Amino acid sequence: MQTIKESLINIINPSNGEVLSEIKPSSTSEIIEKIQKAKTAFPLWSSLSFEKRITYLQKIYELIIRDRRDIATTISKNNGKPLTESYLTEIASTLQVMEYHIKNGAELLSEKNIHLGVLYPAKKSFISYVPYGTIGIIEPWNYPFYLPFSAITKTLLGGNTFVFKSASAVSVVGKLIEKICLKAELPDGVANFIYGDGSAAETLINSEIDKVVFTGSAEVGKKIAEVCGKKLLPVSLELGGKDPAIVFKNCNLDYACGGILWGALSNSGQACASIERVYVQSEIYAEFLEKITNMAKNLKVGDPFDDETDIGPLINEEQVKKIEGHILDAIDKGAILHCGGKRLSTSGFYFEPAILSNVNHSMKVMKEETFGPVIPVMKFDSVEEAVYLANDTHYGLAASIWTSETGNIKKIAGKLNSGTVWVNDSLFLQAHPKCPWQGYKDSGYGSCSIYDFVRVKHISLDQGYIPSLHPKSFWWYPYKGKARSFHALIEVIFKDGIKEKAKATFQTIIDFLR
């Protein structure tokens, strides 16, 4: 893991355990200075037109396309994921988010008219979107390029300035993001970067910023929510998951096994939306176990830069020990290990993917977020049992259902306590900017959409104000004699029948003109 020693952060290469780089952490005074710079730059940046802000985002977009080889290399060195995943889940996902907001951002944040209906012919209402100010962005190590740039894109488009802190383990990627923003020549103070451990994040959260955007563990997210809650500081939390997959007997078994394998093991299982629990209908349970075990055995764990590698190393030693602990706990309580489950190298953090059966909900591997290449498989008999087991968790980020009969699937999906439910897929459209990404329960709150990065302002305009005709609205003071008018008005508006409405309307007009 990374170590902070003698005022330097030692960034470790997960592939070999060697020091990749040394980075100086930001001091408290430097962090406060960066926050002040961001707040000073806010008036200018927020006053720019959408077109001008989008021009800067376009520069970043083009830089990422141009430098994608170097970016992918840096991500794989610092994070350990295979080069293919650096291109697919980091760079392509980032460009997809940026492209969408570059093309649609001005329309998404344009002023919207509210139609109030025939009862208010003289009233007009509008919704506009205004920036928060300075946003503190804190992102994790598992997707160190995509997650920051997704938040940065929406932050800048919304007219905010920001202070970004990357996870200390991936500070090299953080420096790369800073370099890209510098090349894009954003106005001074708009984009600010700090480095360090949890104390740097604590300083940021306790400062005079205007909103916090955090992605990470539920444990840390709850602490951040507590701090923000005390001062009513807006916060968006995208937290962890213990995502279930439900496999019905009518599924295409080869397809389901392939999809679950990728959904569970992509990025070495280090994704908040990784499949971490698999529930298989009892009729196909044995066959499913045999197929997915054989598939897992055929995956290549190794050097992220080897074109044949499917699974790279874990991020650090701490993660290796956590996964080992979950597997040992399961075996001690009766689970059967079908393959893998052990470390492959002492010079890096490589770990063989594990398939476990005979598991139950007393085991850590079925209750706590494992965040590693482990697939525990449990059988079920009925739909009701599958839904109960899937919902038996503190988390509620995502779930997947695998079936060949999709006619009634929305009803089953609706019973799952998850922000996203995939049918016959997993980890797909998570990065699509049109799709909300939000969790239930301990998986956090906030939709990760552009509207999480702006405030909503309502403006109401009375166009029928004619002082010479009627100097005030009839519901204003004094109330004398108006109870009868409102009594009649309720009939005009809400009662059925032309005769009753006409009578009430006549009485209301008479009272109004008095």
Give all strands of the β-sheet with 134-138 in edge-to-edge order.
191-194, 161-165, 134-138, 211-215, 235-238, 444-445
Return the number of other C-beta atoms located less than 10 Å from residue 382's C-beta: 10
CATH code given to domain 243-432:
3.40.309.10
The rounded distance, in Å, linking the Cα atoms of 427 and 274 is 7
Distance CA 385, CA 397 (A): 20
Tell me what pLDDT residue 5 has: 47
Please, are residues 195 and 165 in contact by the beta-carbon 8 Å criterion?
yes
Asked if the domains 27-239+448-457 and 243-432 are classified in one and the same CATH topology, the answer is no
- What is the pTM assigned to this prediction? 0.94
Q: Which of 50, 203, 216 is nearest to 147 (CA)?
A: 216
pLDDT at residue 484, as a whole number: 79
Q: What is the pLDDT of residue 508?
A: 72
pLDDT value of position 140: 98
Beta-bridged to residue 215, according to DSSP, are 238
Please give the Cα distance from 413 to 183 (Å, whole number). Answer: 45
Contact predicate 455/135, CB 8 Å: no
Consecutive 10-residue runs of the chain (514 residues): their mean pLDDT?
Answer: 67 96 97 98 98 98 98 98 97 97 97 87 92 98 98 98 98 98 98 97 97 97 98 97 98 98 98 98 98 98 97 97 98 98 92 98 98 98 98 98 93 97 88 89 94 97 71 81 81 81 77 65
- CB 68: neighbour CB atoms within 10 A? 17
Nearest CA to 251 among 293, 285, 290, 294? 285
Catalytic residues: 238, 272
> What are the residue ranges spanned by the domains of the chain?
27-239+448-457, 243-432, 467-513
CATH number of 27-239+448-457: 3.40.605.10
